[in-house]
Amino acid sequence: MLQDKNIVLGVCGSIAAYKAATLIRLLVKAGANVQVVMTPDATNFITPLTLSTLSKKPVLVDYFIPETGEWNNHVDLGLWADLVIIAPASANTMAKMAGGLCDNLLMAVYLSAKCEVYFAPAMDLDMWKHDATRENIVKLQSFGNILIPPGVGELASGLSGEGRMAEPEEIVAFISSSLKKKLPLADQKILVTAGPTYEAIDPVRFIGNHSSGKMGFAIADQLARLGADVTLVSGPSAQKSKQASIKRIDVTSAAEMLEACLLHFQNSVACIMSAAVADYTPAHPVQQKIKKADNYLHIELKQTVDILSTLGAQKTNGQVLVGFALETNDEEKNAIKKLQMKNLDFIVLNSLNDAGAGFKKDTNKITIIDKTLQKTTYPVKNKDEVALDICHKIIELIKR
């Protein structure tokens, strides 16, 4: 959820400022770009050098840098940020936020921000319970700011109770969950297949195809970005998912892919079968390497179980099933036949005759044909963009 997000992390004067170091590490590990803005008092608790080293960006404290005369532009920072997180948020800073006071750079960035603002209070028990603090929290929430509730535990004063800043792991989990709930595919279970299958002839040889898995992996990544709980069943592929939340299941043969799909299909709201599954497999694979002998080697082949047809026969109302058709001739005719025979909701057609389409490329050119035979043709795009077009069609069908 935090991949490529621009985050302004505001650090205030509180003993809990030491937790900002861990929070930055977690945000950066999640793929976020973190710009730290500290209040002057915060620098008494943890050094800007520590936080700049972890964030890989200079920490900003003042409006101006006297040595260079440079201005830290709070308006630009507010526009740059996808999220503002103020952690720890001291009682003093929350009072300034509630009252619109602007006596330091962090408050100027806060007042300039166009994005969501999260705040994680940190203070002693009596300060947390004070009526003024409670009123300020209510006021901040009325502005649309999002409270990350403090925990209960030992406080700096020696007291024990509420007011302890949430742990960095809890903050990241809270924000990720909050962001995910707003996405169009939040918590929808979706199954994706990708890559080729390898059908064993003997222990060292196989029948396969040229599929790299790029298209299927791009679809899985885009679905995860849109909030889906994605299970990716992949044949042999060097591709890697960009989204850590994706559950990947590696298989080799068509039979193994069928088994994995049957295990997860029933609980999936949608299934996108982008794998290039072998149509035939050796009828009698041997256990020892076949030695070269005669000029000709005859291998008897048998049909594999058609995974797409099997899932199409099991599909229930409300499930969306998507297939792919890579064709070399009579493209639309063959794609429509496959669409109707296999009970698909739509099929993604691409032709090896189109420049920019085909195996192992970073681009693709597709036509989507749905079960009403409505056709949408797209220009050549990179596969991430193609994947997003396919995802938008899935969202359209799921939301009906």
pLDDT for the residue numbered 326: 82
pLDDT for the residue numbered 281: 96
Over its length of 400 residues, how does the chain's per-residue pLDDT go in tens digits?
Answer: 798 899 999 999 999 999 999 999 999 999 999 999 999 999 999 999 999 999 999 999 998 877 777 888 899 999 999 999 999 999 999 999 999 999 999 999 999 999 999 999 999 888 999 999 999 999 999 999 999 999 887 777 777 778 889 999 999 999 999 998 889 999 899 999 999 999 999 999 999 999 999 999 999 999 999 999 999 999 999 999 988 889 999 999 999 999 999 999 999 999 999 999 999 999 999 999 988 887 888 999 999 999 999 999 999 988 999 999 988 788 899 999 999 999 999 999 987 776 666 666 788 899 999 999 999 999 999 999 999 999 999 999 998 7
Q: Is the backbone of residue 360 left (phi > 0), alpha (psi -120 to 50) or beta?
A: left
pLDDT for the residue numbered 244: 82
Active-site position among 6, 209, 334, 382 = 209
Domains in the chain, CATH or no CATH each = 6-181 (3.40.50.1950), 189-280+298-398 (3.40.50.10300)
**pTM (global) more than 0.75:** yes
Let me know if 209 is a catalytic residue. yes
